[in-house]
Chain A
Amino acid sequence: MNTHFVKRLQKEIGKGNVLDSPASLLIYSYDSGVDKALPGAVVLPQTASQVAAVVGLARREGIPFVARGAGTNLCGCTIPVPGGLVIHLSRMDRVLKVDAHRRRAVVEPGVVNLRLQKVLVPYGLTYAPDPASQKACTLGGNAGTNAGGPHCLKHGITTHHVTGCEVVLPDGTFLRTSIDDPGYDLTGLFVGAEGTLGIITQIEVGLLPLPEDVRTFLVSYPSIEAAVQSVTDIISSGIVPTALELMDRVTVEAVEEFVHAGYPRGVEAVLLIEVDGPKERIRRESEKLRELCQKNGGGDIREAQNEREREKLWEGRRGSYPAMARLAPNVLVEDGVVPRTRLPEAVKRIRAIAAREGIRMGLIAHAGDGNLHPNMIFDERNPEETRLVRAAGYEMMKVCVELGGSISGEHGIGIDKREAMRWLFTPQTLTVFRKIKTAFDPDNLCNPDKLIPVAEQPGRGLDHGSLAVPVAAPSQSSGTLEAPEARGAPSQSSGTLEAPEARNELPDSGVLPIQNVEHLQRVLRGARAAGRAVFLKGLGTKGFPIPSGALILALDGLKSVVDYDKENFTLSVQCGWTLPELGALIGPHSQFLHIDGGGTLGGILSARASLKPRLRDQVIGMKCVLSDGQLVEFGAKVMKNVAGYDAAKLFLGAWGSLGVITEVTLRLFPFPPEEPFVKNPRPETSRGEDPRRAIYQKIKNIFDPAGIMNPTIKWEEPTVAR
């Protein structure tokens, strides 16, 4: 790196906070994954303003930079661009505030996850996400990758618990966000963005009270299938364990060899089950659990009798990856997710791949949400072996996509899985991701070339190197899986060609009932060609003021049930449904939505009608039609999914200003909501300078550059002083 730049860095943040010796650069060339690249310099800022200064300097010099926490990432998220700048946030490790009353804490990004947990104990509080690496990984890294963990089955992953953040944007300016703000959910966008949209310098997290009682069980099974059936039965029974961890035979053997956690040897699968909550309920649930496990052939049920035994059982689980690591210089930890009921099939096919290639592999899964981790051992010094293992990993991800899942449940995309994004997302959706990246980082300097496939090379996606495994058409009934990018989606043809014809369909004013998604696409193309402003209407219950003479699209006719998967507790429907109608559909199966509000589902989502339970935690997938008629989709039919930007959250509370939500995939529950609903009052707005306004405008431009979607929406500073 040029010495001039290093000198400027030293001047800006102090000599002791800049490293550029060859040895230091070598030490910052890796994280826990396979890829390595040599940076040009490393900075260790101590304050957010130092981060901003460094970013500003890097931008002026055109030098790419990447933020790094503990470097425990497994997919190359924190690998620098060769010759670029590493911003190591380990020196920003203060817990700034614990507000026990509001149950929130504010931390700097370098705070280690487990340290926050320890700080919270005296308050009787806990921070729910607990990645297996929690001993080392930082909350900044957790936020960047939207980390999960064994205990997120009940309490959710990082995005459910980050309530706000302070970000240094790629231009060196600060932005503060909160999920309580009106306007687009920027917090949700930054969480899981892998540091590609800015560097998080402060995180506000929500906290939970420590449970009254915790019980932990270890159960052995004669087969993976039997274990997964137990999991399904447990969840269907209405019990929501905090953790349902599956480990296969190879893993158990490796773990026992070292940890001596008392896991049974010689069994095909074990489940580690934990329930928490009020004493009396836990007692009841524990009895029920034992019964359900035994019913499916679960034997040798062990319950931890005290905290030490509990810790020992968990040590066995946490040791699964490092225990494999003892067997070889490297472990490739894959991270796929499938609808839970497809787990046995996924396991079978993944094992077949490993067996065919002669790869030693242990399997673990967060079985409750279908997230599985094949741990393959190899030696990175052998290029052929490395290539083989990586190719096998890719093939395994393909299996997950084919089974209706995703290529990452919690580790992220990074460098490792960029190309695999093409299997999951359509070219239109990838284009949206690229536009999001460009809107925030026009110079492409902020952790560039991560998360999104680099260049647009349609047709190449499935022929990845020597790995030409044809992707079968999705086996589910419905089209929840859009054609992968490589298969050349038909809707890619430019919409404007059809515009003149579509324009003729538009009435001069009044309400136009939309018949189906294709109709909607046609109408929007026409409106855009004609420069007509478009307003959306469901049943008209929101009382949103619409200018006279405007073109109003009535969406209450969009009413297909795309997919109702009772066993996996997911429902994919179009947005014209009302909640009573959906209740009639799922009620007979004793399933419930944790959503409330009047009018259509589309209206409820667009207006972010309920504050509690949070609407943003209920939506796992979404399809939208944008103002150019393009159909884009985010998320998948799985509970955990960190592939791509969480753009679906932007549409919640957007009041139709970004596009039309045509379809959502929602979480279902075997019980009604436990807390009372809190209705969202219409966002109060007033005049004022808000740094977020410029960002909101950028986001609007990504989705609706013509500005025809509900142009009366203008987000402003909330009246409440911050």
Chain B
Amino acid sequence: MPVEPIRFPDIQTHPAVLTKSIDKAHYEDTLHCNRCGFCTSSCPTYIATGDEGLSPRGRNQAFRAVLEGRLKDPAEAERFFSTCLMCGICTSVCFSEVPTAELMSAARGTVMGKQGEPWFLKISLRFFLPRPGLLEPMLKILFIGKRIGLSGVLNRIGFLRLISSQLSAADEMVDSVPVRFLRDRVRPYPPAARDADVIHFLACGPNYLKPEVGEATARILKRAGVRFGYVKNVCCGLPGTTYGDLPAARALAQKNIELLEDHPNAVILLDDSSCAASVKDYPALFRDQELPSGDDWRRRAEAVSRRTRDLSEWLVEKGIQFPHLTETTSVTYHDPCKARYAQKIVHPPRALLSSLPAVSFRELPEAEQCCGAGGTYCFAQPEISRAVLDRKAGNVISTKTDGVLTSSVSCLLQLQFGLRRLGSAMRALHLSEFLSPPDKNR
């Protein structure tokens, strides 16, 4: 019986027709993915879902198809773009080093028209984040609501979900909130002198959610005898970059660059790896050749980037000692992806912890994997985030150590939530808190 042969293939691709140079640059990047698939098994969202669309290869191919006009309604691919954790592990295993996280930011922004951005974030980014004087009272009202249990009640009756499922997830995840922000707590320290050695950049996580982390960092700096101080920095702009709202991110970055230029020789120290990576990556915000005075800003951003240090990196660089840590304990360490992949910091925290005589350091299985926090991702995509988290928390528990350390508040909250979820008594602490615990005798 003669059978009509099936026609393979039925898809032919054509070069995308693009006008903007930044789109062209992104398109070039997508072309470097030749679909070998090596990235798939490393990607946390692919591991959690098994869906090719939620793999780096799938995301790149979808973005490429959008740019080539092969997807009639680009909004169809929104789910692929918005579910990327932006952890960057894919680029680290990709031989062509396709910058998927960066591409997804572009896909969310350029292509999706910022559809991935939740409404309250948009307001925050444009209105509150550049204005700490408005943001902080606003947050305090919210936090008081949380502390008196109002949010819990509203969440249980489904009211928060009604406004935004993300608020609901956030309320569930964040266990406790401070009434005094870090900015208030570091008031006793003087403002930065022009010739300060170190600017302790107030990252939003330590500032608004975990001020005890920033306090610990300040104690470390004080004990080390460096001349340090504070500037009135705003949010580093990371949420804008993440959701593809680059103009908002740029405005925040420019404000910070100007402030930091007043202290031209100071190291800019961040105790939150996500924000450290974001500041180090400021030059990328001005990559677009069509920006007004983009070249000038890129140069200024590069100068700031060069002076920026993540906490563990700086501690090892300066050889800071911790002789007061005498209590025998065992710990494991979770790398924030923004440290491990964005800044390629893997060795410093391990070297530091291994050098402490009283501390026994044990490596975390699947240490290379993201915890699923991803900044606000854990609120935006709670289902995937929690699947990723459960695997991470299981690995943490399997180390049978006293606690897990990390260097980003986003990861810290996520790990604490994850251990709670699995009913573990293990503690999760920020590296600063561990290295400089609050003085109990005070």
* Residues of A bordering B, CB below 8 Å: 19, 21-24, 26-32, 34-38, 44, 70-72, 76, 79, 81-82, 88, 90-91, 93, 110, 112, 114-115, 133, 135-137, 258-259, 319, 321-323, 325-326, 328-331, 379-381, 383, 415, 444, 448-449, 454-456
Contact = CB atoms under 8 A, between A and B. Distances in A.
A383 B12 contact: yes
A29 B53 CA distance: 11
B53 A19 contact: yes
Given A22-B73, A79-B9, A381-B13, A136 B62 contact: no
B41 A136 contact: yes
Given A23-B77, A27-B58, A323-B95, A36 B11 contact: yes
Interface residues on B, range: 35 or more
Given A23-B76, A455-B3, A381 B15 contact: yes
Interface of B: 2-15, 31-32, 34-42, 46, 50-53, 57-58, 61-62, 65, 70-73, 76-77, 79-80, 93-97
Given A32-B35, A35-B8, A380 B65 contact: no
B247 to A, nearest CB: 27
Contacts of B2: 455-456
B8 A37 contact: yes
Given A32-B36, A36-B10, 14 more contacts: A19-B53, A21-B76, A23-B77, A23-B80, A29-B11, A32-B35, A35-B8, A37-B9, A70-B41, A381-B13, A449-B8, A454-B5, A455-B2, A456-B2
- Which 3 pairs show the lowest CB-CB distances between chains A and B? A322-B95, A90-B50, A454-B5
A27 B62 contact: yes
B202 to A, nearest CB: 39
Contact of B36 (A27, A34, A112, A322): A322
A259 B97 CA distance: 11
B53 A22 contact: no
A115 B31 CA distance: 29
B35 A26 contact: no
A82 B93 CA distance: 32
B30 to A, nearest CB: 9
B395 to A, nearest CB: 13
B410 to A, nearest CB: 27
B426 to A, nearest CB: 23
A28 B32 CA distance: 19
A79 B9 CA distance: 8
Contact of B51 (A19, A31, A319, A325): A19
Given A29-B11, A37-B8, A383-B12, A325 B36 contact: yes
A449 B58 CA distance: 26
B10 A37 contact: yes
A540 B377 CA distance: 75
Nearest to B34: A325
Contact of B34 (A19, A24, A71, A329): A329
A72 B36 CA distance: 6
Contacts of A28: 52
A110 B50 contact: yes
A204 B70 CA distance: 42
Given A22-B71, A88-B52, A136 B65 contact: no
A444 B3 contact: yes
A639 to B, nearest CB: 26
13 contacts: A19-B51, A23-B71, A26-B71, A32-B37, A36-B9, A90-B51, A322-B94, A325-B32, A326-B97, A381-B13, A449-B6, A455-B2, A455-B5
Contacts of B46: 90
Given A26-B70, A135-B93, A319-B95, A326 B32 contact: yes
Contacts of A38: 10-11
A27 B52 contact: yes
A589 B52 CA distance: 54
Contacts of B79: 23
Contact of B53 (A23, A115, A135): A23
Given A325-B96, A329-B32, A82 B6 contact: yes
Nearest to B14: A381
A259 B41 CA distance: 20
Nearest to B52: A27
B38 A322 contact: yes
A328 B70 CA distance: 21
A259 B94 CA distance: 11
A30 B35 contact: yes
Contact of B50 (A29, A36, A93, A322): A93
Contacts of A322: 36, 38, 94-96
Contacts of A135: 38, 41-42, 93
A133 B35 CA distance: 12
A415 B39 CA distance: 25
Contacts of A34: 9
B36 A321 contact: yes
A112 B50 contact: no
A114 B11 CA distance: 32
Nearest to B95: A322
A21 to B, nearest CB: 6
Contact of A136 (B10, B13, B39, B71): B39
A79 B35 CA distance: 13
Given A76-B8, A321-B36, A23 B95 contact: no
Nearest to A434: B3
Contact of A449 (B5, B37, B40): B5
A70 B51 CA distance: 10
A82 B38 CA distance: 25
A359 to B, nearest CB: 16
A136 B37 contact: yes
A112 B38 CA distance: 11
B38 A81 contact: no
Interface centre among B14, B34, B71 (most CB of A within 10 A): B34
B7 A82 contact: yes
A72 B50 contact: no
Contacts of B38: 72, 133, 135-136, 322
Contacts of A23: 53, 62, 71, 76-77, 79-80
A36 B58 CA distance: 14
B80 A27 contact: yes
A234 to B, nearest CB: 30
A258 B93 contact: no
A500 B300 CA distance: 96
B359 to A, nearest CB: 25
Interface centre among A90, A110, A115, A133 (most CB of B within 10 A): A90
A160 to B, nearest CB: 24
A455 to B, nearest CB: 6
A133 B42 CA distance: 13
A26 B64 CA distance: 11
A71 B52 contact: yes
Nearest to B70: A26
A112 to B, nearest CB: 5
B52 A329 contact: no
Contact of A44 (B31, B42, B50, B62): B50
Interface centre among A29, A259, A329 (most CB of B within 10 A): A329
Nearest to B7: A82
A380 B36 contact: no
A108 B76 CA distance: 31
Contacts of A379: 31
Contacts of A27: 52-53, 58, 61-62, 80
A328 B11 CA distance: 20
A115 B365 CA distance: 13
Given A380-B13, A383-B12, A91 B37 contact: no
Nearest to B5: A454
A44 B8 contact: no
A347 B15 CA distance: 34
A78 to B, nearest CB: 11
A114 B368 CA distance: 15
Interface centre among B41, B61, B62 (most CB of A within 10 A): B41
Nearest to A89: B50
Contacts of A448: 6
Contacts of B10: 36-38, 82
